[in-house]
């Protein structure tokens, strides 16, 4: 209940602040992609308010929407100091056409979608039906050209017009005043569209009386719980949130008078999450949970159809060949991307008092024998016709009064018969905390935690009455890595390098230096490339500079 009330109070108070001016700006590596390629992007949080009380959200939502206003990709990204760099893989089944790339925060969904930052991107997929874009020869004289400069001043200095294959490229960036982030991208010229004048969003309009709270610490997982039989809200019920895996967390929330609850969590990738009553008994398992979707259900007007002239289509056909060649050779090349954002997610209890690795002992036929023979400070007792585990202190041969909380791969398990019926071959280790453990203001008692080799609960029969579903956590942050051809052996390697994207990197304001040099290497493709520098100012304005270079 306290967390629900706190979140409501936060949302109410923030209406008086400048949170409505929060904005997430996106910058992608180019404008045109091939189905199956990676789309690299940078996210930057800004605000148009000078209010000193303005607070920024920690989670950004990213979507790729087709012409039918259907999300093709939906991802969540954790912001570090208001910044994130990541990539998303375009499905190889995606249709050819224009798509809308957009980003926003949970708080921004309280206001109209016209304030979301968007970018129109084009996808060509030669591997599906109707793979080519519509041909429009009327624009033949213009569509194959790319604007090389915006209205900003020149931002690139020291770049030559021509480079050889596998040669180092280096240049410097001129930093404008009040710039908080600079994104540099280098890709084939045919994969850029003409620059359009930046649109300034209108003042956002509040849509709902009841505001969704901003995600200031992490993702908010919220919803309602009701009784399946009569549909009535289950009020004043303490719930737990946990995830199936080898780094367990445990979060608590108490429902309000409408059966609403809210948890905060920071998880990466796909995991199964479990929400259940804290004090489990058979009567309380007859429940239904409905989760609130944090993604926006507002969509924009129709997108324009994708048109290209034949000259540009021919140029993009070469990029398609590059993509196919890269798909063959990439497995033999060093990784061009490095995950750099996965934070260490320790178990909520940090370290156990005792940990038993099952494989170090001779194979035992049952879980019961494992407990009796090799797990210290744990006994198995039968009470009222049911088995229960008891963890005791080392100095006592009899378990003192108190409870033992049992987990399987991070999920609290009340019916331990389900664990006893498991095949021991699935178990990897057992952790024991033989002193009372306090999480916030909750005394969990002693802890006994079972872990399987694959972190999937093995062959334990899970109680299907308990809410369990896949949760999509944060997309990992990535750092683009350019091949290093300064090493003679690498430069003379026969492995083909036909990258459509040569470089993508974000430079943060606090780390910028006027003497910094941008460096990367060209590949084997003889072609025209565009060097694009995008600078984002504190007020959300963008400065974009483009320069063409030739590789031959």
Taking only the tens place, the pLDDT of each residue in 503-548 is 999 988 766 666 678 999 999 999 999 999 999 998 888 999 999 9
- Whether residue 355 is predicted with pLDDT greater than 70 in this model: the reply is yes
Query: Taking the C-alpha atoms of 414, 416, 421 and 424 in order, what is their torsion angle to the nearest 10 degrees?
Result: 110
SS (H, E, C) 18-45: CHHHEEEEEEECCCEEECCCEEEEEEEE
Summarize pLDDT for 39-89 with one digit per residue, the tens: 999 999 987 555 545 568 999 999 999 999 999 999 999 999 899 999 999
Per-residue confidence (pLDDT) for residue 283, from 0 to 100: 58
Ranges 1-10, 127-136, 409-418, 535-544: which has the least confidence: 1-10
- Whether residue 141 is predicted with pLDDT greater than 80 in this model: the reply is no
Per-residue confidence (pLDDT) for residue 324, from 0 to 100: 93
Segment 251-280 shows an average pLDDT of 94
Average pLDDT, the chain: 87
Per-residue confidence (pLDDT) for residue 137, from 0 to 100: 60
Per-residue confidence (pLDDT) for residue 393, from 0 to 100: 80
Nearest Cα neighbor of 123 from 104, 95, 102, 150 is 95
pLDDT-derived band of residue 18, with 50, 70 and 90 as boundaries? very low
Nearest Cα neighbor of 445 from 255, 278, 246 is 278
CA distance 518 to 504: 10
Segment 4-25 shows an average pLDDT of 58
Phi, psi dihedrals of residue 419, rounded to the nearest 5°? -75, -40
CA distance 432 to 446: 8
Per-residue confidence (pLDDT) for residue 470, from 0 to 100: 97
Record the tokens describing residue 275, joined without a space. Answer: 């929400």
> Pick the residue with more confidence: 517 or 274?
274
CA distance 481 to 494: 20
Summarize pLDDT for 467-509 with one digit per residue, the tens: 999 999 999 999 898 899 999 999 999 999 999 999 999 988 7
Nearest Cα neighbor of 324 from 178, 124, 461, 190 is 124
Q: What angle do CA 399, 237, 214 make, to 5 degrees?
A: 115
Buried-exposed string 341-352: b where 16+ CB fall within 10 A, e elsewhere: beeeeebbbeeb
Nearest Cα neighbor of 79 from 202, 178, 217, 180 is 217
Q: Please state, as a whole number, how many other Cβ atoms lie within 10 Å of the Cβ of residue 118.
A: 18
Nearest Cα neighbor of 522 from 42, 193, 170 is 170
Segment 364-371 shows an average pLDDT of 96
Summarize pLDDT for 276-325 with one digit per residue, the tens: 999 866 556 789 999 999 999 998 777 888 988 888 999 999 999 999 99
Per-residue confidence (pLDDT) for residue 441, from 0 to 100: 87
Q: Is the dihedral of CA 107, 110, 111, 114 positive or negative?
A: positive
Per-residue confidence (pLDDT) for residue 199, from 0 to 100: 63
E strands, 50-90, are 59-65, 71-78, 83-89
Segment 235-253 shows an average pLDDT of 95
Summarize pLDDT for 109-121 with one digit per residue, the tens: 998 888 899 999 9
Per-residue confidence (pLDDT) for residue 22, from 0 to 100: 87
Whether the CB-CB separation of 284 and 463 falls below 8 Å is answered with: no
pLDDT-derived band of residue 400, with 50, 70 and 90 as boundaries? low
CA distance 107 to 294: 9
Summarize pLDDT for 406-459 with one digit per residue, the tens: 999 999 999 999 999 999 999 999 999 998 999 988 999 999 999 999 999 999
Per-residue confidence (pLDDT) for residue 538, from 0 to 100: 86
> 3-state class of 97 per DSSP?
strand
pTM: 0.89
Length of the chain counted residue by residue:
552
Tokens 């209406």: give the residue.
Answer: 15
Distances from the Cα of 190 to the Cα of 2, 41, 503, angstroms: 55, 19, 16
% pLDDT > 70, the chain: 84
The secondary element (H helix, E strand) that includes residue 357 is: strand 354-357
- Whether residue 249 is predicted with pLDDT greater than 90 in this model: the reply is yes
Summarize pLDDT for 205-223 with one digit per residue, the tens: 666 677 899 999 999 999 9
pLDDT-derived band of residue 154, with 50, 70 and 90 as boundaries? confident
pLDDT-derived band of residue 138, with 50, 70 and 90 as boundaries? low
- Whether residue 189 is predicted with pLDDT greater than 70 in this model: the reply is yes
% pLDDT > 90, the chain: 65
Phi, psi dihedrals of residue 405, rounded to the nearest 5°? -95, 130
Per-residue confidence (pLDDT) for residue 300, from 0 to 100: 75
Q: What angle do CA 206, 208, 474 make, to 5 degrees?
A: 85
pLDDT-derived band of residue 399, with 50, 70 and 90 as boundaries? low
């Amino acid at each position: 209940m306290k967390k629900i009330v706190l979140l409501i109070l936060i949302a109410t108070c923030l209406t008086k602040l400048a949170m409505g001016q929060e904005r997430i700006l996106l910058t992608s590596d180019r404008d045109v992609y091939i189905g199956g390629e990676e789309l690299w992007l940078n996210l930057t949080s800004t605000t148009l308010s000078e209010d000193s009380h303005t607070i920024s959200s920690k989670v950004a939502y990213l979507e790729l929407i087709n012409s039918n206003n259907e999300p093709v990709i939906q991802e969540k990204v954790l912001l570090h100091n208001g910044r994130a760099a990541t990539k998303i893989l375009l499905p190889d089944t995606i249709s050819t056409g224009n798509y809308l790339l957009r980003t926003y925060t949970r708080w921004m969904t309280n206001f109209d979608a016209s304030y979301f930052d968007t970018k129109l991107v084009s996808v060509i997929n030669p591997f599906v039906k109707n793979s080519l874009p519509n041909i429009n020869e009327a624009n033949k004289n213009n569509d194959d050209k790319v604007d090389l400069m915006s209205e900003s001043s020149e931002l690139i200095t020291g770049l030559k017009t021509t480079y050889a294959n596998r040669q180092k490229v280096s240049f410097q960036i001129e930093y404008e005043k009040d710039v908080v982030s600079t994104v540099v991208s280098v890709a084939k010229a045919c994969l850029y569209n003409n620059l359009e004048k930046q649109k300034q969003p209108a003042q956002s309009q509040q849509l709902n009386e009841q505001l969704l709270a901003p995600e200031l610490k992490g993702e908010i997982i919220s919803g309602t719980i009701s009784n399946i039989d009569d549909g009535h809200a289950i009020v004043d019920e303490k719930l737990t949130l946990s995830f199936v895996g080898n780094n367990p967390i445990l979060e608590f929330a108490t429902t309000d008078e409408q059966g609403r609850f809210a948890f905060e969590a920071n998880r990466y990738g796909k995991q199964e999450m479990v929400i259940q009553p804290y004090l489990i008994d058979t009567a309380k398992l007859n429940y239904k949970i409905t989760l609130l979707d944090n993604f926006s259900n507002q969509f924009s007007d129709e997108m324009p159809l994708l048109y290209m002239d034949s000259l540009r289509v021919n140029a993009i056909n070469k990029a398609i060949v590059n993509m196919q060649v890269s798909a063959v050779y990439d497995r033999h090349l060093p990784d061009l991307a490095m995950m750099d954002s996965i934070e260490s997610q320790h178990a909520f209890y940090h370290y156990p008092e005792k940990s038993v690795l099952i494989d170090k002992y001779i194979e035992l036929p049952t879980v019961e024998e494992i407990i009796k023979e090799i797990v210290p400070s744990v006994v198995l007792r039968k009470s009222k016709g049911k088995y229960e585990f008891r963890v005791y202190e080392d100095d006592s041969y009899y378990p003192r009064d108190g409870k033992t909380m049992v987990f399987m791969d991070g999920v609290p398990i009340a019916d331990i018969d389900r664990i006893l019926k498991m095949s021991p071959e699935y178990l990897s280790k057992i952790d024991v905390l033989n002193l009372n453990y306090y999480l916030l203001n909750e005394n969990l008692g002693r802890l006994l935690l079972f872990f399987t080799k694959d972190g999937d609960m093995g062959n334990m029969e899970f109680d299907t009455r308990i809410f369990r579903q896949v949760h999509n956590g944060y997309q990992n942050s990535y750092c683009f890595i350019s091949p290093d051809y300064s090493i003679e052996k690498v430069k003379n390697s026969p492995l083909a390098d036909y990258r459509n994207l040569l470089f993508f990197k974000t430079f943060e304001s606090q780390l910028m230096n006027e003497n910094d040099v941008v460096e990367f290497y060209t590949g084997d493709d003889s072609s025209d490339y565009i060097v694009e520098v995008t600078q984002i100012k504190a007020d959300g304005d963008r400065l974009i500079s483009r320069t063409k270079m030739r590789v031959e």
